[in-house]
Structure 1
Amino acid sequence: MSEKMSEEFKNKLDAYEKGELHGDELADFEKELEKLELYQEHLDGKKSQAVTTINENKQLKILKRSKWKARFQTALTALGIFILILIISSILTAVYYSWGTPDRGDVFAKVIDYTLAVTEPDGEFGGTSSNAKPFFSMEMERDLKKKVGSNVMKVGELKVNFLFSLMGFPERNYMGNVSQNQPIFTYPGFDRGWSDWERLEKLPEGTVVSAYISFNNLESTDEVYQLLGEKDFDISWFAVDTGDRGEEASLDGGAILDPIGFPSTPIWHEDDMKLDSREETKGFLFGKVVSEGYSSPSYQEGDSDMLHKQFLKTLRFLEKHEKMANKLYQGRNLDLENKLQYLEKNGIKHYGVVITGPTKEIFKLKNEKAISTIEVDEVGFWNW
Structure 2
Amino acid sequence: MNDDFKKKLERYDKNDMTSEEKVEFEKEMSAQEEQWMKPTLEKSKQRKILRASKWKARINTALTVIPLLLVILMVSSFSTNLYYYGFSDEYSRSQKLSDVINFSLVITDPYANKYTADTKVGMFLTMNATKELRKTVGKESYPIGEMEVNFLFSKMGFVDKKFYGKDDQLPEIHHPSLLSEYEIDSSSEWDRLEMLPEGTVSTAFVTFDEVLPTEKVFELFEAKDLDLLWFPVVLSIEAEDHYPTSNIGFPNYPIFHSDDWKLISKTEEKSFLGSSSSETRAAPNYVEGDTEMLHKYFKKTLRFLADYQKEFDEIQQMHGDIQLKESLSYLEDQGISHHGVVITGPTKEVLSLKEEEWIGSIQVDEVALWNWSAE
User: Is 1:68 the equivalent of 2:55?
Assistant: yes
User: Is there any run of 5+ residues in structure 2 with no aligned partner, and where?
Assistant: 1-15
Partner of residue 324, structure 1:
311
Contact 1:144-1:157 within 8 A present in 2 as well: yes
Partner of residue 343, structure 2:
355
Partner of residue 220, structure 1:
213
The counterpart of 2:116, out of the listed 118, 124, 127, is 127
Within 2, Cα distance between the matches of 1:175 and 1:18?
107
User: Cα RMSD (Å) of the superposition?
Assistant: 2.9
In structure 2, give the amino acid aligned to 1:66. Answer: S
Deviation at 1:354, TM superposition (A): 0.8
Secondary structure of the equivalent of 1:119? coil
Q: TM-score w.r.t. structure 1 length?
A: 0.81
**1:219-262 residue CA offsets vs partner (Å, 9 max, x unmatched):** 11112112223201100000011211356755xxx3x1x61000
Partner of residue 147, structure 1:
136
Within 1, Cα distance between the matches of 2:167 and 2:196?
16
Within 2, Cα distance between the matches of 1:47 and 1:316?
94
Q: Rate the CA distance shift 1:239–1:325 in 2: closer, same or farther, 3 A.
A: same
Deviation at 1:183, TM superposition (A): 1.6
Q: TM-score w.r.t. structure 2 length?
A: 0.83
Secondary structure of the equivalent of 1:170? strand
In structure 1, give the amino acid aligned to 2:126. Answer: S
In structure 2, give the amino acid aligned to 1:234. Answer: D
Within 2, Cα distance between the matches of 1:248 and 1:226?
28
Contact 1:186-1:192 within 8 A present in 2 as well: no
Partner of residue 64, structure 2:
77
Deviation at 1:181, TM superposition (A): 5.0
Partner of residue 4, structure 2:
none
The counterpart of 2:84, out of the listed 85, 90, 97, is 97
**1:175-199 residue CA offsets vs partner (Å, 9 max, x unmatched):** 25x7855322222222364532121
Contact 1:236-1:354 within 8 A present in 2 as well: yes
Within 1, Cα distance between the matches of 2:330 and 2:125?
39
Partner of residue 166, structure 1:
155
Partner of residue 295, structure 1:
282
Q: Rate the CA distance shift 1:72–1:208 in 2: closer, same or farther, 3 A.
A: same
Contact 1:235-1:264 within 8 A present in 2 as well: yes
Within 1, Cα distance between the matches of 2:323 and 2:72?
42
Secondary structure of the equivalent of 2:158? coil
Q: Rate the CA distance shift 1:375–1:57 in 2: closer, same or farther, 3 A.
A: same
Within 1, Cα distance between the matches of 2:97 and 2:161?
17
The counterpart of 1:379, out of the listed 337, 358, 367, is 367
The counterpart of 1:205, out of the listed 198, 204, 213, is 198
In structure 2, give the amino acid aligned to 1:237. Answer: W
User: Is 1:370 the equivalent of 2:369?
Assistant: no
In structure 2, give the amino acid aligned to 1:61. Answer: K
In structure 2, give the amino acid aligned to 1:123. Answer: A
Q: Rate the CA distance shift 1:78–1:295 in 2: closer, same or farther, 3 A.
A: same
User: Is there any run of 5+ residues in structure 1 with no aligned partner, and where?
Assistant: 1-15, 20-28
Contact 2:247-2:320 within 8 A present in 1 as well: no
Q: Rate the CA distance shift 1:141–1:283 in 2: closer, same or farther, 3 A.
A: farther
Secondary structure of the equivalent of 1:244? helix
Instruction: Count matched residues.
Output: 349
The counterpart of 1:279, out of the listed 267, 270, 281, is 267
The counterpart of 2:251, out of the listed 247, 259, 263, is 263
